[in-house]
Amino acid sequence: MDDPDRISFLGSRCPKGFRLETLMLRARDAIDCQPADWADTLVVVERGQLDVECRNGARARFDEGAILSFAGVQLRQLRNPSGGPLVLSALSRLRPTAD
């Protein structure tokens, strides 16, 4: 995190009309995903490594500093493959609520 050109949302204020969440996965933890939940989300790998698995079985690994958008991606699971913590920042638009 010493690179001044690297984008990070940690410690940042959230812009109006958006939601900023920090997600931490412990070593070897995984979360199942619904693609619609991540469709308009910009994700930054703040610390650690992230394995992304799609519903068709395709997988990819992203290192610290990666910036991802899952629009159009049929996510199945996000996983921490490493022995240390994985920290993700997720910035998404606020969705209008039904009254």
pLDDT in tens, 18-53: 999 999 999 999 999 988 888 889 999 999 999 999
| Structural domain includes residue 8 | no
Structure-token pair, residue 99: 């009254």
Residue 74 and residue 55 in contact, taking contact as beta carbons nearer than 8 Å: yes
Q: pLDDT digits over 55-66, tens only?
A: 999 999 999 999
Cα dihedral 36, 24, 66, 70 in deg (nearest 10): 0
Q: How many domains does the chain have?
A: 1
pLDDT band at residue 99 under the 50/70/90 scheme: low
| Structural domain includes residue 10 | no
3-class DSSP assignment, residue 64? coil
Range of the domain at 84: 20-93
Query: Can you give the CATH number for the domain in which 79 is found?
Result: 2.60.120.10
Does this model's pTM top 0.75? yes
